Amino acid sequence: MLLRRISILAALMLGCSSAAAYAFPNPLPNQIIAQSPGGRGQRGGPGSGGARLMEELNLTAEQRQEIQEIRNQYQDQLQGRYQELRQAQDQLRELMVGIASDGDLRGQHQRVLGLRQGMAELYFDQMLEIRAVLTEEQRQEFSQLMQQRRQEMLDRKGRRGGNSR
């Protein structure tokens, strides 16, 4: 009987941690990679993000400068919100495995959702400012490049067998 209870408890814990990992994937879009001047952000890595995209859009020196200024303007806010979000997600995970009430869990979940929404709004504001710097042709090219990248990501995810968590 004790072994059965332990098995059930272990299965529930595994299910909760898997659900939490699935429910709270990495919140940062790929654009954060290009936040720093070198085109290498928090995740770094060769060929990361924005520098390559800038080359493909054939931006003028003036456009590159304006876009970099926009990125710099948002970088501190985005990094601060990202850290706050990570802490809130960690707290939610701790509450999930602890003895927190449903109300406490719901409250923390709402906090995480609010932080995600705030980050999404910042990214959108940044995108609108960058969009204003691009020509109509560059906007169309950017849209096509982003669509290709999304498809490549889906293809890679499919080869890995779905969610890597």
**pLDDT interval class at 36 (50, 70, 90):** very low
**pLDDT interval class at 52 (50, 70, 90):** confident
Hey, which of 24-33, 34-43, 45-54, 140-149 has the most confident mean pLDDT? 140-149
Cα–Cα distance for residue pair 13/141, rounded to 1 Å: 47
Residue 103 pLDDT exceeds 90: yes
Residue 158 pLDDT? 85
**pLDDT interval class at 162 (50, 70, 90):** low
**pLDDT interval class at 83 (50, 70, 90):** very high
**Range in 26-30, 68-72, 141-145 with the lowest mean pLDDT:** 26-30
Residue 9 pLDDT? 38
Q: How far is CA 153 from the centre of its chain?
A: 14
